[in-house]
Amino acid sequence: MGRKKVGADNTNANLAMAVRSGKCSLGRRQTLRLMTAGKAKLVVIANNADHLHKSELEYNGFMGKIPILHYKGNNNELGTACGKRFKVTIMAIQDPGDSDIIKSKS
């Protein structure tokens, strides 16, 4: 068994805190809507997301000056980090709540 890096644990803890205390949306369509409206503060993409969807989100993030966090794990691990029992490939954070995930990304 390999050891996890401290940064990965910190990211997981920040994601869990943002989902619990802030406002987050899951899924590509909802994330794109929030990005177009300018309401998304951070977009998180799992490493096994579809390349076309990933490039579409990166383009919209570049145009809207929205930071993109490329999560190191796959969609199962991202869902677990968010405290969900299902796969999460793409999510948008509108309000981080008590989490400092946006500050740590910048």
Residues 7 and 93: beta-carbon distance below 8 Å: no
Residue 16 maps to a domain = no
Q: Are 99 and 23 in contact (CB under 8 A)?
A: no
Share of the chain above pLDDT 90, in %: 82
- Give phi and psi for 21, each to the nearest 5: -105, -15
Within-domain flag for 91: yes
CATH number at residue 70: 3.30.1330.30
Stated pTM of the model: 0.88
Q: Would you say residue 57 lies in a domain? A: yes
Domain count across the chain: 1
Q: Decide if 103 is inside a domain.
A: no
Convert the pLDDT of each residue in 8-26 to its tens digit: 678 999 999 999 999 999 9
Average pLDDT, the chain: 91
- Please indicate, yes or no, if residue 14 is contained in any of the structural domains: no
Is residue 90 assigned to a domain? yes
Q: How many CA atoms lie within 13 A of 27 on its CB side?
A: 4
The answer to whether residue 101 sits within a structural domain is no
75 in a domain, yes or no? Answer: yes
Q: Which domain holds residue 55?
A: 26-95
Which pLDDT score, from 0 to 100, does residue 13 have?
Answer: 92
pLDDT digits (tens, 9 = 90+) for 26-67: 999 999 999 999 999 999 999 999 999 999 999 999 999 999
